[in-house]
């Protein structure tokens, strides 16, 4: 699995988990969804993704979106 796929899987998982927690536990968990969405938006414009940088340092192969 390359960095791009791992970032998308991580973000998607966190969004789904926070939606479930927001529905069943407390609505404040939806702020986690907003945080992940904002991070994805800034990564789209700047090309800088903190998770991608971490994954690159641990040795995952880069894909096309994050270098």
Whole-prediction pTM: 0.82
**R_g (Cα) of the chain, nearest Å:** 13
Which residue positions in the chain have pLDDT lower than 50?
A: none
Indicate if the alpha-carbon torsion angle 64, 9, 36, 49 is positive or negative.
negative
Digit-coded pLDDT (tens) for 34-52:
999 999 999 999 989 999 9
- Asked if 29 and 14 touch (Cβ cutoff 8 Å), the reply is no
- The CA distance from 8 to 11, in Å, is 5
DSSP state of 53: H
- The CA distance from 51 to 23, in Å, is 26
């Amino acid at each position: 699995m390359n960095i791009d796929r791992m970032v998308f899987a991580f973000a998607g998982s966190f969004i789904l988990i926070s939606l479930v927690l927001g529905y069943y536990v407390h609505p404040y968990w939806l702020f986690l969804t907003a945080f992940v969405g904002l991070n994805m938006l800034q990564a789209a414009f700047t090309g800088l993704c903190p998770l991608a940088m971490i994954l690159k340092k641990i040795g995952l192969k880069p894909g096309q979106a994050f270098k």
